[in-house]
Structure 1
Amino acid sequence: MTNAASKGPADARGAQGPLSRWTLFAFALPAAPISAMGLPLVVHLPPFYAGSLGLGLTVVGTIFMLARFWDVFTDPVLGILSDKFETRWGRRRHWIVLSVPIMLLSVYMIFMPPVAVTAFYLIFWLFVLYVGWTLLTISHMSWGAELTPDYHERSRVQGAREVALVLGMVLVLTLPVLIEQTNPENLAAARVASMGWFVLILLPIAVGLAVWKVPERPTTAPAHVPMRQAIRALVQSRPLQVVLAADLLGGVSGGLVASMFLFLAEDALKLGQYSSLMLLGYFISGVCFIPLILAVSRRLGKHKTAAASAVFNALTVPLILLVPQGNAMMALGVWVLCGVNMAAGPFLFRSLMADVADHDTVITRQQRTGLFYSLLTSTSKVGAAFAIFIAYSLLDSIGFQAGGENSQSVLDSLRAVYVWPACIISAAVAGILWFYPIDEKQQVENRRILEMRGIEAAATAVAMRTGHPSDAQSSGIPAD
């Protein structure tokens, strides 16, 4: 009789080789509409509501900050729910499907608002939007972490997801370029509406394909751990602290530059209609260099590659100070260079978090991947929330007028606010990541322990059904 105890390690973990390209494509596809919505939320919607709809910089900055803090509450709650309730579809896919109608309604209301809006209208629909977005992103990232237990294959999964994220941003950024050629009566409203329709059409198609074609790997039922002990394991986890701290600071840095990009490009650099082209160059560069980042991470390890990426960012962002007003070609070259490692931090952080979740499972015997990814999304959102509030408050303090006339000294101050905080924060991220404690050797050991536990659990189940001791039980295979 063949039982679970006689299977090799590859059988026990359910991953006998690299995932196929088709599986990676189908899994990663929902990330495209996720990013196609997320980019305008940071880059286009705040200036649109502050300027075109007249709510003002400080009001809009405060609203977007509050909406992000709303996620601090909803992210862990939805992450725990994602871990806790399993259906015949698995642990993740039903939550992804549930998020779609919430997203579709809220995207329509946010991206196609009535002519006159109030602060209450904006904050209400942002709150609804972030509930759907959180449910989708946490479930999707957790699903990706559970597709494979392999240290480097996890980077490949998250790299594929990052490609879809960036391609979603590239595609949605082409829409404003096309819209500008039609000379609409209200350019800002037309830009935002086109992005909204892109998400409304692509999201249900992408989610439908993913849940139809990509199965979930079975996971063992977690052992019960007292709440106090489980919380203590979270608080005392140094790997978790390192990843969350780096992601929080990265969110602040990214949020600062993203929320001020249009003001910098159109007002300080006088790039006009070429502003969207800068972002296109930035993101296309990021997509092209993802394979190189993956190759580097195989040599250096994931955390050291992420640290090197932060150093690269700190060295390249100041080049923006050298771009003369109106010089679109030089500006494009700088943004393409900055985009070389644009994708490195985000997908490497997600890959690292999968390893952190395994480390936690070794310690607590709990499968809390959804909770861990909810914490990761919370830190990046909090960082971005602080960034928008800080950026718009600073713009107010230097006297910047959105859509108005600004003196050269104000525009110079805008450049400084855009560049130097991002540089300092990137250097701090590099220092934090360099001492991350889980390398490939430790991760392989963690997986060995979890695989042995899985074999032992399967063998025990067989013994209970047959009434005979299993090979694993009789041979004394250790679980730890």
Structure 2
Amino acid sequence: MSQTEIPANGPASGLSRWRIGAFALPAAPIAAMGLPIVVYLPPFYAGEMGLGLALVGAIFMITRFWDVFTDPVLGVMSDRVKTRWGRRRHWIVISVPIMLVSVYMLFMPTAPVSGSYLLWWMVIAYIGWTLLTISHMSWGAELTPDYNERSTIQGFREVALIAGMIFVLLVPVFIEAMQPENVAAARVASMGWYVLILLPITVLIAVWAVPERKVPDPTHVPWREAVSILIKNRPLLRLLIADLLGGISGGIVTALFLFLAADVLKLQFASLLILVYLTAGCVFVPIMVRLSHMWGKHRTLAYSSLFSAVTVPLIFLIEPGDLWFAVAVWICLGVNMGAGPFLFRSIMADVADHDHVEGGNQRTGLFYSLLTMTNKIGAALAIGFTYPALELIGFVPGIENTASAELGLKLVYVLPPAIIGFLVAWVMWNFPIDEDQQSENRRILQKRQSMAEGAGGNAGASVAPIGGAN
């Protein structure tokens, strides 16, 4: 079967909606692996596997720093190695067996296990996960040069991410209903099988159905000059600052959610709020994509941040035990939970083009690795802030706390994210790369590409299809 290649100089990708959907599919297992690693694996290994809180905490901290370190390394590698498939799809395929083996070993361990066992397989898992994530995001950025279509593609990907989180949360619910004994092990194993089954299927569909866009071969730039261009790239720095702030805000909310819902608001079905929050986000992503086409990406991101800043104080209005009002509040909070992530990624594609114009080299993988790195650092900083803050105000999880301690937790949950929402809006409000600037950048790059092709260069060399039909 034939495969239509995406031309290098076209104004848009030419991809149909079903192909964009096929591209987005691997985001579901990406998210389905990420959520259990943060929420379920640490207590499982600390409790059921008998490693203890201190050791498990140290291992997950070490591997998180390892994950941050490997982001730019794998991003640069993704940019520089090109095959007949292109620059991205082969890395995605390579990541699959790494992910499958490590997920099996982590989610279905045979007791007893040691700390070195957990450390080793977490390191391997993060290599596969980072390689898959960065390559997939970079591939999406390069599918089209069009300002608005990039939002559409990243919006599809965000819907798949959120859907992956929703379904991986629902799987343990059915497992717990069918197997009341040894619930923790069965719950973790079910999440592992979800990833093991979904990942190869979705990757196969994506790489078979969606071609890569032809991009110029990377040119050699001395590393000192490359770093200088990177540091002087003000749009990049502004976007990374905003993403770092967003990571801090999201990390605070994530770290304190269970304490707020169970210990302060006395809600019996706290997990329901997570599903409500994610579902609202999934439903409203297409609306946010449409708004970004109308207002521009940076302004939509600013409005989204302002919306978060003014709605998170609704937490103060929830009375203890009032589940349905809490559901209404979390629907409101979830309306734009997916807006920031897909807009950051879509804007980063434009920033990478700007860097290409200024520096003469396409470093999309590196730029997306920086984006994932700042968000992870922000989440880590949030943990470093919230837990000492809880200790300072005298809040103790799992017991009846004083009114002042409960108020203190609400303040820690609400005030930093609200302030950060205003800060992100301020940083992004007059972002210099809008639709007009992006169009000018693409005009310059297309002119360079045409000149290179006219001179007989290999910048327009085709990328071999894998298969599939229109």
**Residue pair 2:8, 2:213 contacting (<8 A) in 1 also:** no
Secondary structure in structure 2 of the residue aligned to 1:72 = helix
1:229 positional shift: 1.0
Secondary structure in structure 2 of the residue aligned to 1:132 = helix
Distance 1:419 1:51, change over 3 A: farther
For residues 405 and 69 of structure 1, the distance between their equivalents in structure 2, rounded to whole angstroms, comes to 32
For residues 388 and 48 of structure 1, the distance between their equivalents in structure 2, rounded to whole angstroms, comes to 20
Among 335, 340, 357, the residue aligned to 1:340: 335
Distance 1:72 1:12, change over 3 A: closer
Q: Say yes or no: does 1:66 pair with 2:45.
A: no
Of the structure 1 ranges 70-79 and 182-191, higher mean CA displacement relative to structure 2 is found in 182-191
Among 280, 283, 300, the residue aligned to 2:278: 283
**Residue pair 1:93, 1:211 contacting (<8 A) in 2 also:** yes
Partner residue in 2 for 1:385: 380
Among 77, 84, 101, the residue aligned to 2:73: 77
User: How many residues were matched structurally?
Assistant: 452
For residues 70 and 462 of structure 1, the distance between their equivalents in structure 2, rounded to whole angstroms, comes to 39
Distance 1:376 1:339, change over 3 A: same
For residues 110 and 263 of structure 1, the distance between their equivalents in structure 2, rounded to whole angstroms, comes to 27
Partner residue in 2 for 1:215: 211
Secondary structure in structure 1 of the residue aligned to 2:216 = coil
Partner residue in 2 for 1:225: 221
| Structure 2 gap segments, 5+ residues each | 1-5, 459-470
**Residue pair 1:309, 1:344 contacting (<8 A) in 2 also:** yes
Partner residue in 2 for 1:98: 94
Secondary structure in structure 1 of the residue aligned to 2:220 = coil
For residues 96 and 244 of structure 1, the distance between their equivalents in structure 2, rounded to whole angstroms, comes to 25
For residues 413 and 279 of structure 1, the distance between their equivalents in structure 2, rounded to whole angstroms, comes to 22
Partner residue in 1 for 2:172: 176
Secondary structure in structure 1 of the residue aligned to 2:319 = coil
Among all aligned residue pairs of Structure 1 and Structure 2, give the percentage whose two residues are the same amino acid.
60
User: What does residue range 15-414 of structure 1 map to in structure 2 within 5 Å?
Assistant: 15=11, 18-49=14-45, 62-114=58-110, 120-182=116-178, 184-272=180-268, 274-398=269-393, 404-409=398-403, 410-414=405-409
**Residue pair 1:39, 1:169 contacting (<8 A) in 2 also:** yes
1:323 positional shift: 1.8
**Residue pair 1:32, 1:167 contacting (<8 A) in 2 also:** yes
For residues 55 and 301 of structure 2, the distance between their equivalents in structure 1, rounded to whole angstroms, comes to 35
1:291 positional shift: 1.7
1:311 positional shift: 1.1
Secondary structure in structure 1 of the residue aligned to 2:293 = helix
**Residue pair 2:19, 2:210 contacting (<8 A) in 1 also:** yes
1:100 positional shift: 1.2
For residues 425 and 107 of structure 1, the distance between their equivalents in structure 2, rounded to whole angstroms, comes to 35
1:215 positional shift: 0.9
Tell me the C-alpha RMSD between the 2 structures.
2.4
For residues 270 and 117 of structure 1, the distance between their equivalents in structure 2, rounded to whole angstroms, comes to 36
Secondary structure in structure 1 of the residue aligned to 2:456 = helix
For residues 434 and 57 of structure 1, the distance between their equivalents in structure 2, rounded to whole angstroms, comes to 43
Distance 1:125 1:326, change over 3 A: farther
Amino acid in structure 2 at the alignment position of 1:334: V
Among 435, 438, 452, the residue aligned to 2:430: 435
**Residue pair 2:13, 2:145 contacting (<8 A) in 1 also:** no
1:333 positional shift: 1.0
TM-score by length of 2: 0.89
